[in-house]
Structure formats: C-alpha cells, structure tokens
Amino acid sequence: MTVLSAQSNRLAQYWALTKPRVTQLAVFCAVIGMFLATPDLPRWQIVVAATVGIWLLAGAAFAVNCLVEREIDARMARTARRPLARGEITVMQTLVFSGAIGALGMWVLYVFVNPLTMWLTFATFVGYAVIYTIILKPATPQNIVIGGLSGAMPPALGWAAVANDVPMQAWILVLIIFVWTPPHFWALALYRRDDYARSGLPMLPITHGIEFTQFHILLYTIVLVATTMLPFAVGMSGLIYLVSAAMLGAIFLVYAWRIYRHYSDLLARKTFAYSILYLSILFAALLADHYLKF
C-alpha cells in the first residue's frame, strides 16, 4: 500500500466515524429550518457557516457514539465493519478527532452564526453522545423514544441560525421528527432483531417481542400522520404541503398496517427505506410550499 492510499484509507475511516448518511439527513433538516425561518432567502454566508458547524458537531457526536458502542458494533453484522469495531482506529484517536471537529464546529457557529445556535447544537451533542448513547440506550427499550429529542433538533438549530430565535413553528418541525423516529428505527430493529439480540441492547423487539413492536409502529405512524398536519393547522404552510403530507402519510400508514397484519423482514426493510424518503420529501414539500405560497 502506498503512502497516498494509506492516507486515503485513514481519511475514509475517520469519515466513517461521523456516520455520513445519518449526518446528511440531519443537516438537510437543519437547512430546511434555515430557509423556513425567513420569508426571504437567508444570507448564504449564514447558511454555509451553520451547515458546516452543525455538520461538524453532529459528526463529533456520532464519533463518540461509535466509541462507546465499539464492542457492541463488533457483535452486529450491520456495524461490524466500522473502524472502531475492527480496531483500525484507537480510542485516543477517536477522542482527539471528535474533540477537534466538535470544537471547530462550536467555534464556527459562535463566530459566524450566533451563540444561541452554538449552545443549542452543543446541547444536542450532549443529548445524543451522553444522555442517549451512554445512559438511555443500554438502560431501556424506550431509548429511541426518549432519546429521539436530540435527533429531532436539527430544524430548530437551523431556524436559530437564521432568526436567532426558536419559535413555535420550529418546535413543530422538531416534534414531527421526534414522532417519526420510533417507527423509522423500530422497522430497522425488527428485521435486524438477531443482530440486536447479539448486541445485548434492550431494543423493543427483543424485550417485548415482534408483535408488540409491530403494534407500536402502527400506533406511532398514526400519531405521526396527525402531527404532520400541524404546520397547515397553525398557518405555516398551505395546500402544497397539506396534500404532500397527506399522500406521504397514507403510504406510510399502508406500510405500518402491513407490518402489523402481514409482517415479513422484507417488508420491514422496505418500510425503513421508505421512512427516510418520507421525511426528506415531507420537508422538501414544506420548503416548496413556503416559497410558492399556493
């Protein structure tokens, strides 16, 4: 292996610590919050700086998550190839990396955005890396419900970046992601239940069984569809969003109902994949509605 390829491989390992696919969705929701915070286009300098700062702190939190769960990851097929699980990166290297990008993210947000966004993003970091990962996840099968607040915060962070405030409308977006998280994650936990059984984590399908989890996916999906009507109900969106939310929610409900009545691992896998697409299109529809004003 050449020096260049070795360096590229090392960079790829550090990049993997930040869970880039999960980070991308979180940052996307934060950017939507930035654009919804103003009737006009936000200043591009704020959008760029806030995106970079939030991305860095999110990556730092995920790196801590990988560090704490490295032994658990090594027992699961889904996560066994992560750098820490394979022993390719040391604990000290991970701590230095997480601390460096986290500190850089805080500096970017404080200097180029505003202190409110920095502190909210730092609180989100603590909520995910410490409260969820270290305390809640190994302690209760409701970990993803209680700890979901930290993962739901990106729209509020984006809103704060542009408006230097977090009004009711921003918290509605947070609530949508908060309610979306359980059916999204439990679909994954169902078809990966053997993995989670090996992990030792008290995930709902392991502690309460498949049927109990199926019912709760349906229950939370019903609550989710109702929650997505709030932006229209409070006047922050119009018909474009309403129709989009109704159609997307109907499809999600079909998936949840089929999981409840006719479960298969393939269906759970498809439901998990759809849930990611669902949230992305839902927020994109909210953004389109915001500017088209139909």
Taking only the tens place, the pLDDT of each residue in 143-164 is: 777 777 888 999 999 999 999 9
**Cα(280)–Cα(226) distance, rounded to whole angstroms?**
18
Provide the sign of the torsion angle of the four alpha carbons 31, 33, 34, 35, taken in this order. Answer: positive
Top CATH class, 8-164:
mainly alpha
Confidence category of residue 294, pLDDT binned at 50, 70, 90: low
**Cα(36)–Cα(29) distance, rounded to whole angstroms?**
11
Query: What is the predicted pLDDT for the residue at 84?
Result: 87
Q: Please report, for the chain, the start and end positions of each structural domain, with discontinuous segments joined by +.
A: 8-164, 167-294
Output 134 or 99, whichever has higher pLDDT: 99
Kindly report the average pLDDT of the chain as a whole number.
Answer: 91
How many other β-carbons are positioned within 10 Å of the β-carbon of residue 167?
Answer: 13
Helical segments of 164-264, H only: 168-191, 193-199, 204-207, 210-227, 230-233, 239-261
Confidence category of residue 214, pLDDT binned at 50, 70, 90: very high
**Cα(156)–Cα(174) distance, rounded to whole angstroms?**
7
- Average pLDDT on 3-12 reads 69
Position 5 pLDDT exceeds 80: no
Query: What is the predicted pLDDT for the residue at 132?
Result: 86
How much is the pTM? 0.92
Query: What is the predicted pLDDT for the residue at 7?
Result: 63
**Cα(80)–Cα(248) distance, rounded to whole angstroms?**
34
Please tell me whether residue 192 adopts helix, strand or coil conformation: coil
69 phi and psi, to 5 degrees? -100, 20
